[in-house]
Amino acid sequence: MQPRVDFISLGVRSVAASRRFYVDALGWPVHREVPDEVVFIQANHGLVLSLWNAAQMQAEAAVDAPSAVPCITLSHNVGSADEVDRVMAQAEAAGAAVVAAPKTQPWGGYTGYFADPDGFRWEIAYNPTWTVDDGGRVTV
């Protein structure tokens, strides 16, 4: 597994309120959005910040609703479903707990989740629409 982060997803109570904060108040550019579900913001070269409905995020990442700190996942995107399986096996061999076995998701990608030794969730994802151009601009 290469040392990089491609997506930072924040599980938010209200996508609309988070959009008002990040987009309207801070001026961060929307890359793509699904109203009341998710807002994608181009954050850096090849990096997207996702403001995701917390209940949907918690269900996909197999994590209970937090009592104090919202759910967060760190996503590592790879080039194929086979590579998702390979990285998940590598993480498990390194001591990670597989919390959601890789599977095809309703949105068309293939993802699995593991927890690091502190419980932080990593999503290993193959997204057939994910590309990054030479300038670092992401297409999802």
45: left (phi over 0), alpha (psi -120 to 50) or beta: beta
Give the closest residue to 61 by CA, choosing from 111, 7, 126: 111
Where do runs of H (alpha helix) occur along 1-140? 15-19, 54-61, 81-93
**How sure is the predictor about 64, in pLDDT bands with cuts at 50, 70 and 90?**
confident
Model pTM? 0.73
Structure confidence by residue, pLDDT tens digits, 112-124: 999 887 788 899 9
What pLDDT shows up at residue 44? 85
Structure confidence by residue, pLDDT tens digits, 71-89: 788 899 999 999 999 999 9
Return all residues near 113 (Cβ < 8 A) that are at least 6 apart: 60, 61, 62, 73, 98, 99, 100, 121, 122, 123, 124
Structure confidence by residue, pLDDT tens digits, 19-37: 988 999 889 999 999 999 9
Residues in the chain: 140
Q: Please compute Rg for the chain using Cα positions.
A: 15
CA pair distance 102, 133, nearest whole angstrom: 27
CA pair distance 128, 115, nearest whole angstrom: 24
